A and B are shown apart, each in its own frame.
Chain A
Amino acid sequence: MDAAETSLPMDDVALVERARQGDAASFSELVSRYDRKIYRLARHITNSDEDAEDVLQEAFLKAYEHLDGFQGNAKFYTWLVRIAVNESLMKLRKRKSDRTVSLDEPAENGDEPMVREIAVWDGNPEQQYSSDELRAILDKAIANLKPAFRTVFLLRDVEELSTEETAAALDLSVPAVKSRLLRARLELRERLTRIFKKKGDDVFAYL
């Protein structure tokens, strides 16, 4: 790689191609691009630092091992996410060996999304809380969602994959992604509103 080439960041496709040809530095670059996101995703799905580290390693090792099988028409990151989600769900299943943890688990409480807390928020949480406090609040809210819902929310609203990419990464239909996303967003809205609402300002509360 000459100096002129290093001045511009290479896109993932080019890095994957070089890594396939045995260029270790290119794969290391892919790792440093995505390791934080993959670790965060794995932590959120597994709710465990230890499992998240295992998932992080497994995801990148499997990606490296199967680089030849990677379809160039998919995004490398989406492919990596798919591996990491599968590894994370396997961890969850292992931990809860007597219970099935699956992305296929049906939505409970019927199809009706639940809305109870109807109150405006008291200003901007990003200004009201330190970033550590806010992170803890947001993490806890996500941790309480069922895996089927939190996984969809994480991919769509935290990792910012498109609906189609999320569906592809999770082997779900687009309508299934949309319905789970709505449920997840409303459940999180519910939990966060309990914390962030203006105190004594339930003026809109009904039923």
Chain B
Amino acid sequence: MTFLLTCKDFLHELSDYLDGTCDPELRSKLEKHINECPNCWVICDTSNKTIQVYRGMDPQPIPQEIHDRLMGAIQKKMAGKCGGSSA
């Protein structure tokens, strides 16, 4: 006997479905549900786009002065650890 998925069931499995981590049997049930339920199709599509738009954002370069202060702090630490002359 096969059980039909409800929209609530679909929503609970959405993350695993988008990550491709659910088993093949569940996956085909979820795909069947999406094909028959326009609301869940939209939720799935816009959730996927949400993830993709975040993944597409590269980290911006760090402002130069922040980078300089970071490297300064690290060099100071290194000098201390290596037993170099303390500032």
Main SS of chain A's interface residues?
A: helix
Q: How many residues of A contact B (CB 8 A)?
A: 46
A64/B42 in contact, CB under 8 A: no
Give the interface of B toward A (CB within 8 A).
8, 11-12, 14-16, 18-19, 21, 38-39, 42-43, 45-47, 49-51, 53-57, 59-62, 66-67, 69-71, 73-75, 77-78, 81-82
A107 contacts across to B, CB distance below 8 A = none
Q: Is A157 at the interface (CB under 8 A from chain B)? A: yes
B57/A138 in contact, CB under 8 A: yes
B70/A27 in contact, CB under 8 A: no
Q: Is A12 at the interface (CB under 8 A from chain B)? A: no
Chain A nearest CB, measured from B65 CB (Å): 9
- State which residues 95-144 of A face B: CB under 8 Å: 112-113, 115, 118-121, 125-126, 134-135, 138
Q: Given that A28-B71, A35-B62 are contacting pairs, would A182 and B14 also be in contact in the complex, using a CB cutoff of 8 Å?
A: yes
B39/A126 in contact, CB under 8 A: no
B59 contacts across to A, CB distance below 8 A = 36-37, 39-40
Q: Given that A22-B82, A36-B60 are contacting pairs, would A192 and B50 also be in contact in the complex, using a CB cutoff of 8 Å?
A: yes
B81 contacts across to A, CB distance below 8 A = 64-65
> Contact check: which of A28, A56, A64, A126 meets B53 at CB < 8 Å?
A126
Give the interface of A toward B (CB within 8 A).
22, 24, 27-28, 31, 35-37, 39-40, 53, 56-57, 60-61, 64-65, 112-113, 115, 118-121, 125-126, 134-135, 138, 153, 157-158, 160, 163, 178, 181-182, 185-186, 188-189, 192-193, 196, 204, 206
Q: Can you name 11 extra interface pairs (CB under 8 A) apart from A35-B70, A185-B15?
A: A53-B66, A60-B70, A65-B77, A115-B43, A118-B42, A135-B57, A138-B53, A160-B55, A185-B14, A185-B18, A186-B11
